[in-house]
Amino acid sequence: MPSSPADFFGPGSAPGAAYAAGERKETMDINTVLTILAQVFVGGLSLGVLYAIIALGYTMVYGVLQLINFAHSEVFITGGVVAYFVFEALKESPMNGLLKLLIAALAAMAVSGGLNVLIERLAYRPIRGAQRLVPLITAIGVSLILQDLLRLIVGLRGLFDLSVTLPQGFADPITKVGGVNISVLNLQVKDIILIVVAGLMLIGLNLLVNHTRLGRAIRAVAHDRQTSGLMGIDSNRIISLTFLIGGALGGLGGAMFAMKYQALNAYSGMVPGIKAFTAAVLGGIGNIPGAVLGGLVLGWLETLLGTIDLFQVVPGLGWLKYITSDYKDLGAFLALLLILFFKPAGLLGKATTEKV
């Protein structure tokens, strides 16, 4: 992820060159302000849709079982590792780069989806119906086990560097669209791919959940598992399929993460996984549109806080010099607490009462 505001500027841009050299302008003209805000929008959109893809995996499982699957971070990064090996295997292949990405994404979705189903069958199903603390502790335990298993399997490789295995052209900057120069946005091909993939995935998920027989069954089990069982719906099968879908979404997120950042290891899923869970809670856990909105809000907020110290030259905002990019995570989580203080169920979540 970008570590400083300079990462959001193109190498040839005046703001980027000035920041990289450690310079501070005494004034900031309106064009520079608009450039920074445009870069924040584009960078935050790319980051936000990535969080949204991962967050949907949490949301799908919670919507059906009211279970927070803390192992989703490891399921997600497993998809990234699978994508790395696919890219490496196809490195010398003459096939189109987008086709390589499609194969990598499908492989990541298949492995992560299967892993999630296995987790549900072995770890969560035996304790279904237990007190809520039991599944929570189990989920944390599964997460730790998967972390160490992943480290044992791939740990000898250390850091997976995709800069040499990723198809050529993915990291190329996009400088013009329809004859309009957009080089100041520091937009890359992989950002467009990520946004398009996320959009297609959201359309597909919406069609699946709201316009198919399986989607109706998922919603029925989520609403009332016992009653849906009396109506002939196999709840165990539906729950397994929900875990499959949630894991596949995590695997897709892992493949996109590998493409975007071009480096990962066995523990790379921890922080993005926590942030994606934060996005799901922010939007309303169990709510699909809420997970998307939460991801976008978190992405934009994190990106803005990563560049906010640039605005210290604006009159009256000199105190922003104390807010460096190191505080972007802190600011994002503080904003989460503030939003949940006024909207405990999340931005799109609905408060519910439970009879005991």
Render pLDDT for 113-133 as a digit per residue (tens, 0 to 9): 999 999 999 999 998 888 878
Tell me the average pLDDT across 184-206.
89
Give the pLDDT confidence score for residue 193 in this predicted structure. 92
Distance of CA 342 to the CA centre of its chain: 25
The yes-or-no verdict on residue 324 having pLDDT over 80 is: no
Quick one: pLDDT band at residue 336, thresholds 50, 70, 90? confident
pLDDT in tens, 249-282: 999 999 999 988 888 888 888 889 999 999 999 9
Residues 3-60 have pLDDT tens digits of 555 554 454 444 454 444 444 444 566 777 788 888 889 889 999 999 999 999 999 9
The predicted pLDDT at position 131 comes to 83
The amino acid occupying position 81 is: V
User: What is the residue-wise DSSP string for 122-164?
Assistant: IIIGGGTTS-THHHHHHHHHHHHHHHHHHHHHHGGG-SEE-TT
Q: Which of 150-164, 268-282, 327-341 has the highest mean pLDDT?
A: 268-282
103 vs 309, residue with greater confidence: 103
314 pLDDT above the threshold of 50: yes
pLDDT of the residue at 333? 81
pLDDT at 320: 66
The least confident of 154-158, 175-179, 247-251, 267-271 is 154-158
9 alpha carbon, distance to own chain's centre: 23
Provide Rg for the chain, Cα atoms: 21
Confidence bin at 238 (pLDDT 50/70/90): very high
Q: What pLDDT is attached to residue 182? A: 77
pLDDT class of 305 with cuts at 50, 70, 90: confident
- The answer to whether 241 and 218 have CB atoms below 8 angstroms apart is yes
- Which string of DSSP letters, residue by residue, matches 339-350? HHHH-TT-SS--
285-304 pLDDT tens trace? 888 899 999 999 999 988 88
Residue position matching structure tokens 């809420």: 290
Residue 158: predicted pLDDT: 64
pTM as predicted: 0.85
Q: How far apart are CA 141 and CA 117, in angstroms?
A: 16
CA angle 279, 283, 285 (to 5 degrees): 85
Better-scored residue on pLDDT, 233 or 164: 233
Give the pLDDT of residue 9: 47
Contacts 24+ apart (CB under 8 A), 90-95: 91/164, 91/165
The neighbour count for residue 344, using CB atoms within 10 Å, is 9
**pLDDT > 60? residue 2:** no
pLDDT at 85 over 60: yes
Q: What is the largest CA-CA distance in the chain?
A: 71
- Both structure tokens of 114: 């299967």
How far is residue 290's CA from residue 348's CA, in Å, rounded to a whole number?
5
> If you average pLDDT over every residue of the chain, what do you get?
83
Give the model's pLDDT for residue 14. Answer: 43
What pLDDT does residue 21 have? 47
Contact predicate 36/310, CB 8 Å: yes
What is residue 156's predicted lDDT score, i.e. its pLDDT? 59
* Higher per-residue pLDDT: 220 or 349: 220
| Length in residues, the chain | 356
- Looking at residue 36, what is its pLDDT? 81
pLDDT interval class at 313 (50, 70, 90) = low
Element (H, E) at 193: helix 189-211
> Is the pLDDT at 219 greater than 70, yes or no?
yes
Helix (H) or strand (E) holding 264: strand 263-264
